[in-house]
Amino acid sequence: MNVGVALGFLALVAAAVVGLYLLRPPPQRVRVGSTLIWQRVLAAQRGLSQRWRWWLSLLLALVIALALALAVTRPRSGEPVRDPKDIILVVDAGPTMNAMRSDGRTRFEHARDWAIDEIRRNGAGARFFVTDTMRTVSTGTFVDAERAQAVLKGLAPAQGGAPRFPDLVLLPKSAAGREVVFVTDGVSALEGPTGTRMHSVFEVASNVGITAFSVRARATDPTRFEGFVELGNAASQPAKVTVKIAGAGRDPLTRIATVGPRGFGSVTFPVEGFTGGALQASLEAPGDVLGIDDGAFAFLPFNRVLQVALVTAGNRDLERALRLDPRLKLSVLTPAQYAAKAGFDAYVFDRFVPAQPPLAPSLVFQPAAISWLTQAASLGAAPQVTNWLGNHPVLENVSLADVQIEKAAAFREMPGALSVLATESGGKALIVARDKAPRVVAVGFASTASNFASQASFPVFLANAMQWLTAEVPPQSAAVGAVRVPFENAKVEAVKAGKIATRAVPGGTLFTLPASDFATVEAEGVRMRVAVNTTDPAITDINASALPPDTVSVPTSAGATAVAAAQWWPALLILAGVLMLVEWLTYHRRVTI
Amino acid sequence: MKPRSTLFDEAFLRRLEHLDLVTRRPVAGHLRGSHRSRRTGTGMVFADYRPYSEGDDTRNLDWGIYLRLDRLILRLFEEEADLPVYLLLDTSASMGHGEPGKFDFARQIVAALGYLALRNYDRVSAIAWADGVASELSGRRGRTQVWPLFRFLEGLTPSAGTDLNAALRGTFGATRTRGLVILVSDFLDAAAFAESARWLRQFRHEVVAFHVMAPDELEPDLPDQVELQDAETGQALVLESTSQLLEAYREEMARHCKDIENACRREGWSYLLAKTDAPFEDLMLMALRRAGVLR
């Protein structure tokens, strides 16, 4: 509170005390038999001492009330009236500024109000440049007080992202002198240029937040998943936290965990009961002052049966091998039936290739020619597979060493679109894959023209191929704020925010989520999940500030942040308490005002 | 059929019947009573010797002395006389205050002592006084006068100020026979009690002073800011009742009581501080006995 307002407040308090003394309720009337003894007593005691007693009581009450008022208002008398000049006001709008203080208002609200007061204190002659550490608002250039206040009132703290002190070198030079004022809680540890005057809105508080949330396959059983939630505690006392995971397919799961002081803890959940899709983790902790890190999203893969069509004129070995995979529901079509059937998750073309590319991923055996994929050319008799990519998901745990081929077609490699998975001794591609939707795996020979179908690795190859072809694009995690996905013209829809406006950028799409959310991105037949979270230990640790609470630093040539304002308000409170005790002891009155 | 009185119940009256008043010095009296008189006569208590003169009752000659000294010496005996009892009840407005009430308590004291005196065939006078003599029930004797006494007491109401000096001057004079004075009051009189006592001393009465006080007068419990209104003068007194002031009041009240007690002791009178919250029976049966009023 500035000096003027504080003085006004103090005068009001003093006037109220004096008024209450003068307007005390009339004394209670008591009828007694005789006042003879009282008159004798008062004759000895009354007189000058009684009047002194009244004045001293009033003085004590005034000092007590003023001490309390000063402790509450905390006027800063050390701030001189400044000459008009250009002031650069930088307000920290980082995520930790959302932390609630003990008075129920956030650090950011304190910072914004202080900045507005600072504008008023500097008078109408000064010019202001207002900006923030999240690059959300800026006056653009030096403006008058009214415009600066309007910009400040439109400022809001971010719910994620890394704050950064704005670059001020491009601002126009000022003839009247320039002062940089930075209002922050100090958690971001940002420093302005030399001479920056800093105001702290920091206050120690309790906070527990989710610092990580992921869904991962169990080490013992890759087909089963578990949710992992990491918790961070910023307080210096242990925190008892209730963690909940909610999703589709079953009731939410709840766990209670205790997180040590200024430490981390973790909770795991078995998530098989959920059907898949977005999982939301949330926590509840007593005294928690920061809400933006109390929730997070993750993606649980769907575990469903794939509809696969085998398009062939007849291939019992291939059909039998595909039916061995329990994840597949196989339909066998002739090439003539292919056009009439649709709605499959994947196709297996056996010595047949449609003229138009299918909408779903496909595994192609011995294509005559795939105009929409690549060109194929006949090879000589009995080509030998000599090299293959064993680390590619399609050929994982698959050996082609013993495969004997009667005849095959070699693919022409198309750089950037196709990957060669296996080559013959001459270096020509025998198995290729296109890692672009819809995915394609092309094998240059038919199962009937080789002994591949009788190899033990053939069902493994088919299973790997189906898995790779039908797998969704791996889910992506992103921080709150601007998110870039590597798909052009993508459409984005989020669980909480609904449909999101997007912006095309080279090679991808950009969209912004201001808070934790779960977005689904669709483009070019590809669907990708993006979990946008505020899971950052640096945000959860809201007490990691080097600044003392509520102080103003004195700008020094070295840019140090020495504290100028003395913290005398606790002494005032103690003084008021001592005086109240003295007043009570000496006057034996419980109510002094 | 006896008239009913609200001052005492039957049980209490029966407990008082076996008590008797006693005086520690001979008193003058016209009527025979059970109290010793300064007159010598036909009583049983030996008083003195004197030489025989003609006309004296020869039954009282001391023949032993005559045989030893050969002189006629007459034995003198105290003649028993009735005891005039003066019951002086303070009816000033200050007696109407206190909790439990001082006035009822004082009337019970007066009524009980009057009852005992009448039962003992003493002549009893009841005088109500405040800033002077307010009313008087003239000398009565015999137990049949108990109920007129009670009715007189019941008809009294506290009013006016307190002037003990004026009341004593209006009550006692040359016409009053020396006797026992029962003075019942709160003694909240601006004039010094010692002055009144000195004036009363000349009549050589036996005096028993009952100082009636209510507990809230001895230990007042007042709000912080209080305006005290005097029941007698109507004067208002505004004060702030601090613990220091209350302590000073208690000291002053104790000094006031002590002054009255000392004045009584100087005159050879009995003094009793009668607190209205004390059991009345205890006061009558124990305090009066300890003070020598009852035997």
Domains of chain A, each with CATH number or no CATH: 3-25+32-76+571-587 (no CATH), 86-205+542-564 (3.40.50), 306-470 (3.40.50.880), 476-533 (no CATH)
Q: Is residue B2, in this structure, part of any structural domain at all?
A: no
Cβ neighbours of B163 in A, within 8 Å: none
Mutate to test the interface with A, among B188, B252, B253 (most CBs of A within 10 A): B252
The answer to the question of residue B277 being in a domain is: yes
Whether chain A has a CB inside 8 Å of the CB on B256: the answer is yes
A–B CB contacts, 8 A cutoff, strictly below: 93
Same domain membership, residue B126 and residue B60: no
Residue contact A28–B226, C-beta within 8 A: yes
Question: Contact A30/B222, CB-based, under 8 Å?
Answer: yes
Q: How far off is chain B from A588, nearest CA to CA, in Å?
A: 6
Ramachandran area for residue A138 (φ above 0: left; ψ -120 to 50: alpha; else beta): beta
Q: Chain B residue with minimal CA distance to A46?
A: B239
Verify that B44 and B188 share a domain, yes or no: no
B224–chain A nearest CA distance, Å: 7
Q: Which residues contact A564 (CB under 8 A, 6 or more apart)?
A: A78, A551, A552, A553, A554
d(CA A382, CA B202): 163
Dihedral (CA of B157, B158, B161, B164) sign: positive
Q: Do A33 and B237 touch (CB under 8 A)?
A: no
Contact of B78 with B37, CB cutoff 8 Å? yes
Assess contact for A388 and A350: CB atoms under 8 A: no
Q: Are A35 and B162 in contact (CB < 8 Å)?
A: no
Predicted local distance difference test score (pLDDT) of residue A175: 60
Residue B1, domain member (yes or no): no
**Strand intervals (E) in A185-336:** 197-200, 208-217, 225-233, 239-246, 253-259, 264-270, 277-284, 295-300, 306-311, 328-333
Residue B4 located in a structural domain: no
Q: How far is CA A228 from CA A212, A234, A248, A296, A535, in A?
A: 8, 20, 17, 11, 13
Nearest Cα residue in chain B from A31 = B229
Cβ–Cβ of B226/A36 closer than 8 Å? Answer: no
The predicted-structure confidence for B257-284, as pLDDT tens digits, reads as follows 999 999 888 888 888 888 888 877 777 7
E runs forming strands in A293-398: 295-300, 306-311, 328-333, 346-350, 362-365, 376-378, 385-388
**Is the model's pLDDT at B294 over the cut of 70?**
no
Same domain for B216 and B123, yes or no, is yes
Contact indicator for A58, A592 with CB cutoff of 8 Å: no
The answer, yes or no, to whether residue B223 has pLDDT greater than 60, is yes
Q: Quote the CA–CA distance of B35 and B22 in Å, as a whole number.
A: 7
Are B20 and B164 contained in the same domain?
yes
Contacts of A31 in chain B (CB under 8 A): 97, 228-229, 231
Residue B50 domain boundaries: 35-81
The DSSP code sequence of A446-459 is -GGGBSGGGSTTHH
Q: Are residues B43 and B174 in the same domain?
A: no
Tell me if A536 sits within 8 A of A290, measured CB to CB: no
**B3 falls within a domain:** no
User: B149 and B281 in one domain?
Assistant: yes
Nearest CA in chain A to B240: A27
CB contact under 8 Å between B252 and A41, yes or no, is yes
pLDDT of residue B26: 41
Tell me if residue A211 falls in helix, strand or coil.
Answer: strand
Q: What is the pLDDT of residue B3?
A: 47
Query: How many angstroms separate the CA of residue A586 from the nearest CA in chain B?
Result: 9
Q: Is B165 on the interface with A (CB under 8 A)?
A: no
* Predicted pLDDT at B87: 93
Smallest Cβ–Cβ distance between B230 and the set A35, A40, A42 belongs to A35
Give the C-alpha separation, A54 to A73, whole Å.
28
Q: CATH number, domain at B277?
A: 3.40.50.410
Give the C-alpha separation, A365 to A382, whole Å: 17
CA A427 to chain centre: 49
Same domain, B112 and B159: yes
- Asked, for residue B247, whether it belongs to a domain, the answer is yes
Angle at A286 between CA A283 and CA A291, to 5 degrees: 50
Residue B5 lies in a domain: no
pLDDT at B4 over 60: no
For residue B91, the chain A residue with the least C-alpha distance is A33
Q: Which residues of B touch A37 (CB under 8 A)?
A: 188, 217, 249, 252-253, 256
User: Residue A195 has what pLDDT?
Assistant: 82
**Are both B197 and B55 inside the same structural domain?**
no
Q: Who among A37, A44, A589 is closest to B253 (CB)?
A: A37
Please give chain A's pLDDT, 593 residues, in tens: 566 777 787 788 888 878 877 776 777 888 888 888 888 888 877 655 666 777 887 888 888 888 888 877 776 554 454 555 788 889 999 899 999 988 889 999 999 999 988 888 887 678 888 889 887 777 778 888 888 888 888 888 888 888 888 887 777 666 667 788 899 988 888 888 888 888 888 988 899 999 999 888 776 665 678 899 999 999 888 999 999 999 888 899 999 999 999 889 999 988 888 888 889 999 999 889 999 999 999 988 776 678 899 999 999 999 999 998 877 889 999 998 887 667 788 999 998 888 888 888 899 998 777 777 777 777 777 888 889 988 888 998 899 989 999 888 888 765 556 788 888 888 888 888 887 778 889 998 988 889 999 988 898 999 889 888 887 777 888 888 888 888 888 899 998 889 999 988 888 899 988 888 999 888 866 778 899 998 888 889 888 887 877 655 444 333 333 333 346 777 888 888 888 887 776 665 433 33
Same domain, B67 and B147: no
pLDDT score for B33: 44
Counting the structural domains of chain B, the total is 2
* CA-based nearest distance B131→chain A, Å: 14
C-beta of residue B87 within 8 angstroms of C-beta of residue B126: yes
Q: Are residues B251 and B266 in the same domain?
A: yes
The confidence band for B180, taking pLDDT boundaries of 50, 70 and 90, is confident
- Give the separation between CA A524 and CA A468, rounded to whole angstroms: 18
In the numeric block, which tokens belong to residue B36?
């010793």
pLDDT for A3 equals 65
**Both B65 and B160 in a single domain?**
no
For helices B146-154 and B102-119, the axis angle rounded to 10 degrees is 170
CB of B96 less than 8 A from some CB of A = yes
Residue B295 domain-assigned (yes or no): no
Examine the domain organization and report whether B21 and B127 are in the same domain: yes
SS3 assignment, position B264: helix
DSSP SS3 for A574: helix
Residue A368 near residue A354 (C-beta atoms within 8 A): no
Those residues whose C-beta lies under 8 Å from the C-beta of residue B143, and which sit 6 or more positions away, are B118, B119
pLDDT of residue A415: 54
**Nearest-CA distance A28 → chain B (Å):** 5
Helix, strand, coil abundance in chain B, percent, nearest 5? 35, 30, 35
What is the overall mean pLDDT for chain B?
79
Choose from A35, A46, A584, A588 for mutation: most chain B CBs within 10 A. A35
DSSP string, A493-528: EETTTEEE-EEEETTEEEEEESSSEEEEEEETTEEE
